[in-house]
């Protein structure tokens, strides 16, 4: 019987990781917390939606060809459904349904788990978590600049700098104009856009063949990319981003086009400077999507981006930017062998009630075994109640080996200093 996890899916382990290739839950939480901090600083509110949706929600936007990339099935109610491959259609539906109850612009974010039945590659699995941030109800280019600044600051929050990544900015409208000037009558614009989107990942002859279907050539496209100047919209966005002091993080690059059909204006993608990884994030403006998915009941311009955790975690690991994750417990409370456990358990509960992360032994053990266990767990300190009713404890800093005798009321402050690495002494040295 094979009970291993499915291909393309991950198991997340706590520290210490059992193997170097294991996925770290601590690292995932570290990234999620950074995303949330920055989104809140930008005034965004968190939302969520169903992980299982009607299949039509995705085929209406992307066509039946997307079905081959989905985890879809017919449920027990004979409904065609799919695990969500992206969040934007769900969000657009939610906004269309409730937009009258929210002041504009609407600024929302989410961190959903998404699923796509695709060939596994470096940086691409069959599930991933994604930071989505979107703005609705704003047509001005200040909103585009704001969403790009949010993307940049989300990566800066994790320690990445302008030497690590760049946001490449382009215009779907400019490419639409190129298509109308150069494509043969009746050519498929969606196929043309997808060919350019995959241009850097496919052999030149493959791209040239796809472009030929639209009556264009790869040489034409490359010449346009090399010579293209920023449109007035892109110049306005650049000026806004530069005014924030973020000019080193953005560049005009018309090789970016975004393959999805619903983009209507400025588009962008974030890449690592070394070119080792897939795109870190991508997004743009989609002013017609809410109207399309609501059947015309609501008409709100929108824009946003998505940033997956797979490539980002690989990039942070490559740059040495993931912190060392410690134990779940900060303090290990010792129990005297052969003595009453009541005082130790009382101290355990007292400290937990005051926000300290505390572990202890479930069974009677010698002190040296308990201390060994605390060290293995990565605890910062030890504590042992000193006699029944005294409400004092012997405490040891496991990093410095310093020992002090403390009233219980002083122990949370001592634990706080252990957290921060502060060397200030509390209490009276023992001996």
- Give the pLDDT confidence of 183-215 residue by residue, as tens digits: 999 898 888 888 888 888 889 999 989 999 999
Q: What is the largest CA-CA distance in the chain?
A: 92
CATH number of the domain at 161, please: 3.30.930.10
Are 335 and 313 contained in the same domain? no
Question: What gap in Å lies between CA 396 and CA 428, rounded to an integer?
Answer: 12
Tally of structural domains, the chain? 2
CA–CA dist 336, 146 (Å, integer): 59
State the CATH number of the domain containing residue 360: 3.40.50.800
Higher pLDDT, 170 or 425: 170
For 367, phi and psi rounded to 5 degrees?
A: -60, -40
- Given a cut of 70, is residue 48 above it in pLDDT? yes
What token pair was written down for 24? 């770290």
Task: Examine residue 228 and state whether it is found in any structural domain, yes or no.
Answer: yes
Contact predicate 92/110, CB 8 Å: no
110 plus 196 within the same structural domain = yes
**Residues 164 and 312: beta-carbon distance below 8 Å:** no
Residue 20 pairs in a beta bridge with none
Q: Phi, psi at residue 198, to the nearest 5°?
A: -95, 5
| Contact yes or no for 7/120 (Cβ under 8 A) | yes
Q: Report how far apart, in Å, the C-alpha atoms of 199 and of each of 172, 194, 209, 217, 340 are.
A: 16, 8, 11, 12, 72
Residue 228 is predicted with a pLDDT of 82
Within 279-332, residue ranges assigned H as helices are 289-293, 309-318
Tokens linked to 246: 């973020």
Whether residues 146 and 272 share a domain: the answer is yes
Burial profile 343-357: b = 16 or more Cβ within 10 angstroms, e = fewer: bbebbbebbeeeebb
How many C-beta atoms surround the C-beta of residue 83 within 10 A? Answer: 19
Tokens 């790009």 belong to residue: 148
Q: For 400-426, what is the mean pLDDT?
A: 84
Could you tell me what percent of the chain has a pLDDT over 70?
Answer: 97
- What pLDDT was estimated at residue 18? 87
Identify whether residues 133 and 222 lie together within a single domain: yes
CB of 147 closer than 8 Å to CB of 303: yes
Residue with the two structure tokens 């009276």: 428
Pair (39, 134) in one structural domain: yes
Tokens of 425: 């002494």
Residue 425 has pLDDT above 50, yes or no: no
Percent of the chain with pLDDT over 90: 73
The most confident of the ranges 27-31, 58-62, 221-225 is 27-31
Neighbours of 223 (CB within 10 A): 11
Last residue of one domain, picked from the residues 318, 345, 372: 318
pLDDT band with cut points at 50, 70 and 90 for residue 121: confident
User: Which of 235-239, 390-394, 417-421: highest mean pLDDT?
Assistant: 235-239
Domain boundary among the residues 318, 350, 384 is at 318
Q: How far apart are CA 383 and CA 344, in angstroms?
A: 9
In 3-state terms, what secondary structure has residue 392? strand
Domain range enclosing 345 = 331-429
**Same structural domain, 264 and 141:** yes
Residue 76 lies in a domain: no
Domain annotation covers residue 369? yes
pLDDT tens digits, residue range 307-356?
Answer: 999 999 999 999 999 998 877 899 999 998 877 789 999 999 999 999 99
Task: State which of 283, 318, 353 marks the end of a domain.
Answer: 318
Query: Whole-model pTM?
Result: 0.89
CB 308 within 8 A of CB 128: yes
Q: Which of 17-21, 238-242, 373-377 has the highest mean pLDDT?
A: 238-242
Average pLDDT over the chain, rounded to whole?
92
């Amino acid at each position: 019987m094979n009970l291993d996890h499915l291909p393309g899916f991950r198991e997340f382990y706590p520290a210490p990781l059992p193997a170097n290739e294991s996925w770290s839950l601590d690292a995932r939480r570290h990234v999620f917390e950074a995303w949330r901090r920055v989104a809140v600083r930008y005034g965004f509110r968190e939302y969520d939606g169903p992980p299982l949706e009607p299949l039509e929600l995705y085929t209406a936007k992307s066509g039946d060809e997307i079905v081959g990339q989905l985890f879809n099935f017919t449920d027990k109610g004979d409904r065609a459904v799919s695990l969500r491959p992206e969040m934007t259609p769900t969000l657009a539906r939610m906004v269309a349904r409730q937009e009258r109850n929210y002041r504009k612009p609407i600024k929302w974010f989410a961190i959903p788990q998404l699923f796509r039945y695709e060939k596994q590659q470096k940086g691409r699995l069959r599930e991933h978590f994604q930071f989505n941030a979107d703005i609705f109800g704003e047509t001005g280019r200040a909103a585009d600049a704001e969403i790009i600044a949010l993307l940049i600051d989300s990566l800066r929050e994790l320690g990445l700098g302008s030497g690590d990544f760049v946001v490449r900015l382009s215009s779907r409208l400019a490419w639409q104009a190129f298509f109308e000037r150069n494509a043969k009558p009746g050519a498929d614009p969606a196929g043309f856009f997808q060919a350019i989107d995959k241009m850097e990942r496919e052999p030149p002859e493959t791209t040239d063949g796809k472009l030929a279907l639209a009556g264009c050539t790869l040489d034409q496209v490359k010449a346009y990319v090399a010579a293209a100047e920023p449109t007035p919209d892109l110049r306005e966005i650049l000026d806004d981003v530069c005014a924030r002091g973020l000019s080193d993080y953005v560049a005009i690059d018309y090789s970016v086009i975004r393959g999805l059909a619903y983009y209507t204006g400025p588009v962008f993608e974030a890449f690592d400077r070394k070119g080792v990884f897939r795109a870190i994030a991508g997004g743009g403006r989609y002013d017609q999507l809410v109207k399309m998915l609501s059947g015309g009941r609501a008409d709100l311009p929108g824009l946003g981006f998505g940033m997956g955790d797979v490539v980002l975690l690989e990039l942070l690991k490559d740059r040495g930017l993931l912190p060392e994750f410690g134990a779940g417990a900060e303090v290990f409370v010792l129990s005297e062998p052969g003595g009453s456990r009541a005082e130790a358990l009382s101290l355990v509960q007292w400290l937990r009630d005051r926000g300290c992360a505390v572990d202890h032994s479930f069974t009677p053990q010698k002190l040296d075994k308990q201390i060994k266990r605390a060290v293995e767990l990565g605890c910062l300190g030890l504590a042992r109640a000193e006699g029944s009713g005294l409400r004092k404890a012997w405490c040891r800093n496991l990093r410095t080996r310093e020992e002090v005798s403390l009233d219980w009321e002083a122990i949370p402050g001592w634990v706080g200093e252990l957290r921060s690495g502060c060397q200030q002494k509390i209490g009276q040295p023992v001996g």
